[in-house]
């Protein structure tokens, strides 16, 4: 029997992108809710309980509600929202961090899909803390460029409005209270005791991300060697040759791909690590499908675009 898959929130940005990656597959059965019932709580309850795996592509409150509607112990959940990422009862869905992460996802009933900015930060920092290259109490800084689809339907409409404020032509810095919603998972997953200073920036391009972590006082070649070794053999996370392949880094380089590439630059005393990926790929929907593949015991890249 083919595994039954349901996407709660299929009409949203993340949900549609998951559907796009699963729609043509014949190794799974997609359960499709009627368009006019997609917010009907009783109908959603039926679909959530009928699924072997349910993706939640909903605002946080609706994601929590969806979990509360599950009345069996067979439905496995992949939640794309922020709701459960630091919940110890959930497994964090970033398989490349360690063998233990991958194994936990494989057997999990509840997987929290990582945040997009958080994916960039954690992919750079987790291996450095785990290998003792940076101390747990290091105060890091991070700037993260993202395409506007990262803000979901509302921000997409704002950027695509023909009467939009012309200031949207330039990049916008946000998260000015320094309490961005991805900070808790960055600290929790990497084991940092100090929150990084985090500056997210949204630009006038649809999708793509470049998340740069700044690391003072550490040799860039040591960082490069550590990351290259950590991700050796991975299919969806790779490390570019030292210094990258080009003199500048474009945030939309991996738009349309589901992989993530780390670029390490710097010298003996200062390092920057930039994670390049697609906010809708390894930053959301691509990662969610990768997690589903792992949970089903399939090749993790099935249906994905490396």
Ligand X SMILES: NC(=O)C1=CN([C@@H]2O[C@H](COP(=O)(O)OP(=O)(O)OC[C@H]3O[C@@H](n4cnc5c(N)ncnc54)[C@H](OP(=O)(O)O)[C@@H]3O)[C@@H](O)[C@H]2O)C=CC1
Active site residue 190: no
Q: Which does 200 bind (CB under 5 to 8 A by kind): ligand X, ligand X2W, none?
A: ligand X2W
CA distance 102 to 91: 10
Sign of torsion over alpha carbons 182, 183, 185, 190: positive
Give the nearest distance from C-beta 125 to ligand X in angstroms: 19
Q: Is 244 left (phi over 0), alpha (psi -120 to 50) or beta?
A: left
Bridge partners for 262 per DSSP: 239, 275
Give the nearest distance from C-beta 71 to ligand X in angstroms: 17
Query: Please, which residues have CB within 8 angstroms of residue 200's CB and are 6 or more apart in sequence?
Result: 117, 143, 144, 146, 173, 174, 175, 180
Size of the site for ligand X2W (CB under 6 A): 12
What is the residue whose two structure tokens read 């009907």? 40
Give how far Cα 197 sits from Cα of 36, 114, 176, Å: 43, 19, 10
- Phi, psi dihedrals of residue 143, rounded to the nearest 5°: -120, 135
Give the nearest distance from C-beta 199 to ligand X in angstroms: 18
Site map (CB under 6 A) of ligand X2W, residues 156-185, x = contact: -------------------------xx---
Give me the catalytic one of 116, 142, 190, 265. Answer: 116
CA distance 233 to 217: 29
C-beta closer to ligand X2W: residue 109 or 181: 181
Contact at 8 Å (CB) between 186 and 211? no
> Strand 270-277 vs strand 237-239: parallel, antiparallel, or unpaired?
unpaired
What is the residue whose two structure tokens read 């921000």? 155
Give the nearest distance from C-beta 244 to ligand X in angstroms: 24
C-beta closer to ligand X2W: residue 104 or 201: 201
Q: Which does 202 bind (CB under 5 to 8 A by kind): ligand X2W, ligand X, none?
A: ligand X2W
The pair of three-digit structure tokens given for residue 272, joined into one six-digit string: 């920057």
303 binding ligand X2W? (CB under 6 A): no
What is the residue whose two structure tokens read 């700037």? 143
C-beta closer to ligand X: residue 16 or 239: 16
C-beta closer to ligand X: residue 58 or 105: 58
Site map (CB under 6 A) of ligand X2W, residues 182-221, x = contact: x-----------------x-x-------------------
C-beta closer to ligand X2W: residue 2 or 250: 250
Chain residues binding ligand X by CB under 6 A are: 9, 11-15, 38-39, 57-60, 62, 80-82, 115-116, 149-150, 152-153, 279-280, 283-284
Segment interacting with ligand X2W, rule: CB under 6 A, options 19-27, 103-111, 143-151, 269-277:
143-151
So which residues are the catalytic ones?
116
């Amino acid at each position: 029997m083919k595994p039954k898959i349901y996407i709660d929130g299929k009409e949203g940005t993340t949900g549609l992108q998951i559907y796009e990656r699963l729609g043509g597959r014949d190794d799974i059965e997609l359960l499709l809710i009627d368009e006019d019932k997609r917010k009907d709580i009783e109908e959603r309850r039926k679909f959530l309980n009928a699924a072997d795996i349910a993706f939640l592509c909903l605002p946080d409150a609706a994601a929590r509600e969806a979990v509360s509607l599950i009345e069996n112990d067979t439905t496995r959940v992949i939640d794309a929202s922020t709701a459960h990422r630091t919940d110890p009862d959930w497994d964090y869905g970033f398989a490349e961090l360690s063998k233990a992460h991958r194994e936990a996802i494989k057997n999990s009933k509840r997987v929290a899909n990582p945040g997009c900015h958080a994916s960039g930060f954690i992919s750079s920092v987790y291996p450095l803390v785990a290998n003792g290259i940076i101390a747990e109490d290091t105060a890091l800084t991070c700037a993260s460029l993202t395409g506007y689809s990262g803000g979901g339907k509302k921000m997409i409409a704002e950027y695509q409005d023909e009467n939009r404020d012309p200031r949207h032509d330039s990049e916008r810095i946000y998260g000015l209270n320094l309490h961005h919603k991805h900070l808790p998972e960055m600290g929790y997953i990497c084991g940092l005791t100090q929150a990084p200073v985090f500056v997210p920036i949204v630009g006038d391009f649809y999708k793509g991300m470049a998340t740069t972590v700044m690391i003072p006082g550490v040799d860039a070649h040591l960082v490069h060697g550590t990351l290259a070794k950590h991700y050796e053999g991975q299919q969806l996370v790779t490390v570019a040759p030292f210094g990258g392949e080009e003199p500048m880094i474009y945030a939309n380089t991996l738009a349309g791909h589901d992989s993530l590439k780390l670029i390490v630059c710097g010298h003996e005393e200062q390092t920057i690590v930039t994670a390049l990926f697609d906010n809708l790929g390894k930053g959301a929907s691509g990662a969610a499908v990768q997690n589903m593949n792992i949970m089903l015991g399939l090749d993790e890249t099935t249906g994905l675009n490396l």
